[in-house]
Amino acid sequence: RLGCPGFTVPEYKPTPVEGGASKSLFFPDEAINKHPRFSTLTRNIRHRRGEKVVINVPIFKDKNTPSPFIETFPDDDGEAAKAAKPDYIYMDAMGFGMGNCCLQVTFQACSISEARYLYDQLATICPIVMALSAASPFYRGYVSDIDCRWGVISASVDDRTREERGLEPLKNNLYRISKSRYDSIDSYLSECGEKYNDIDLTIDKDIYEHLIKEGIDHLLAQHIAHLFIRDPLTLFEEKIHLDDANESDHFENIQSTNWQTMRFKPPPPNSDIGWRVEFRPMEVQLTDFENSAYVVFVVLLTRVILSYKLDFLIPLSKVDENMKVAQKRDAVRQGMFYFRKDICKGGNAVVDGCSSAQNGTGTNAEEYTLMSIDTIINGKEGVFPGLIPILNSYLENMEVDVDTRCTILNYLKLIKKRASGELMTVARWMREFIAQHPDYKQDSVITDEMNYSLIWKCNQIAQGQAECPELLGIGFNKKQSGNKTGS
């Protein structure tokens, strides 16, 4: 119920005035973290955009949900009435997105080329794992028709002007920009990914040419030049005059406010930290066990990608289509996702069902097809080997002690059963909890009492004080999660 009356303790009422940070009808400035970065980001995104951010999330149409679903906003100065859409939940502040939680994991590569390879391969996995980890079905006291936070955060920090969004002719701005600065990646970085770069890439040509002149290759130069079409959102006075040869704050100011599905992280100056990639799309879960399972799944996937030289690349436009599908209600069971059919470069005997990859510079539609998440994760005979079977074969060839192997297999069992639909995602479990609540009137409204019941139950599950076989399996025991997950 973020953004509902009385959602903060102590209670504060929103003051939608120009001088405030958010000017929100729902989200009081007092709810923003007191560190100056956050109120500054909120204010500067709104000022740069020229209006409040607009977040519209489709309402879930239940039996008694009004149709069309239309809200009125008593304190509105007209901006909300123009921005809100029928049958959508309207929100108007950065806090509705950046107030969400997520699960991210960073990997260190052995070299820049390995980092670029991992960046590209994992980018195609982002929508799959996001749908698998779906945990965000409710917004501003309503049941929505989406299961993931991604599009909400994307809209909550969208600082593009009307010109940059293509709503007005370019006059004061330099570029048309197709996405929010929080969105999916726009280009692959490795040489093998280049032929799949089928998205028009807006770049700062001066920065691109400068990087090329200094010896940076085309793919990396265009990536950096694309990040730098954005303006800085915050600037601290003491960080203005820096020695760029020894400090990277100016670079990180832009890099760290391009919030994408993957982040390519150059080593900090004067540090022994190497080239890293960050995997950013996952939704946070209720228990440490679930969070560990998702992280270990992705970590193992990186090991398998590198060991077996797997190739998941498909045209980047198809990855974007997958990102849209992944956010839909129950995408893990209902969605179909573009995925590469032959994932072995030159074939690999370890991965059953792989044949030799085709060479060449062009892409063809026969390289990929629509698959369910169950097929992608668990495999389907004659169609796709499945990521879990590949991970299992990898583990069989590794020297791992019994306890560690048991823990890992329990993690993979959770992913396997979430993918098949045998176990629920957190989003589906939350929906069913609300649907079965005695106070629910099948009108898509979540009352304060229902919200409290849900949070109480979530906390019990998180603390190991209540079982939840629908989420975790029969016989799951938090204290013995290494060896007592249900079969």
Residue 149: both structure tokens together: 């936070």
450 touches 440 (CB < 8 A): yes
Q: Spell out the per-residue pLDDT of the chain, length 487, in tens.
A: 999 999 999 999 999 998 899 999 999 999 999 998 899 999 999 999 999 999 999 999 999 999 999 999 999 999 999 999 999 999 999 999 999 999 999 999 999 999 999 999 999 999 999 999 999 999 999 999 999 999 999 999 999 999 999 999 999 999 999 999 999 999 999 999 999 999 999 999 999 999 999 999 999 999 999 999 999 998 877 777 777 787 778 888 899 999 999 999 999 988 999 999 999 999 999 999 999 999 999 999 999 999 999 999 999 999 999 999 999 999 999 999 999 999 986 544 445 444 333 444 556 778 999 999 999 999 999 999 999 999 999 999 999 999 999 999 999 999 999 999 999 999 999 999 999 999 999 999 999 999 999 999 999 999 999 999 999 998 776 544 544 444 3
Report phi then psi at 370, rounded to 5.
Answer: -80, 130
Q: Radius of gyration over alpha carbons of the chain, in Å?
A: 23
pTM for the whole structure: 0.93
Residue 452, number of CB atoms within 10 A of its CB: 11
Query: Is the peptide bond between 315 and the residue preceding it cis, with omega within 30 degrees of 0?
Result: no
**Separation CA 210–CA 188 (nearest Å):** 20
Torsion-angle region of 345 (φ positive above 0: left; ψ -120 to 50: alpha; else: beta): beta
282 touches 390 (CB < 8 A): no
Which three-class secondary structure state does DSSP give residue 149?
Answer: coil
Residue 271: both structure tokens together: 């540090």
Distances (CA, A) of 314 to 230, 324, 367, 465: 27, 16, 8, 44
Report phi then psi at 316, rounded to 5.
Answer: -65, -30
- Could you tell me the residue ranges of all domains in the chain? 29-98, 101-150+279-487
Which three-class secondary structure state does DSSP give residue 339?
Answer: strand
Nearest C-alpha neighbor of 26 from the set 66, 53, 61: 53
Residue 173: both structure tokens together: 């701005």
**Separation CA 484–CA 482 (nearest Å):** 6
**Separation CA 330–CA 285 (nearest Å):** 16
**Separation CA 475–CA 487 (nearest Å):** 8
Count of alpha carbons within 13 angstroms of residue 351, beta-carbon side: 26
DSSP string, 55-102: EEEEBP--TTS-SS-----TT--SHHHHH--TTEEEE-STHHHHTS--
| DSSP secondary structure code for residue 68 in this structure | S
**Block residue for tokens 């007092």:** 30
433 touches 142 (CB < 8 A): no
Count of alpha carbons within 13 angstroms of residue 55, beta-carbon side: 27
**Separation CA 131–CA 173 (nearest Å):** 36
**Separation CA 22–CA 37 (nearest Å):** 13
Predicted pLDDT at 196: 98
Predicted pLDDT at 305: 98
Give the type of residue at 189. Answer: L
Distances (CA, A) of 296 to 204, 302, 390, 405: 38, 10, 14, 12
**Separation CA 173–CA 434 (nearest Å):** 46
Predicted pLDDT at 93: 97
CA 80 to the chain's CA centroid: 27
**Block residue for tokens 């800085």:** 232
**Separation CA 182–CA 155 (nearest Å):** 8
- Helix 288-308 × helix 112-132 angle, to 10°: 140
**Separation CA 209–CA 203 (nearest Å):** 10
pLDDT digits (tens, 9 = 90+) for 94-133: 999 999 999 999 999 999 999 999 999 999 999 999 999 9
**Separation CA 236–CA 222 (nearest Å):** 28
Output 460-464 pairs: Cβ under 8 A, ≥24 positions apart: 461/286, 461/287, 462/286, 462/287, 464/287
Residue 180: both structure tokens together: 């929010």
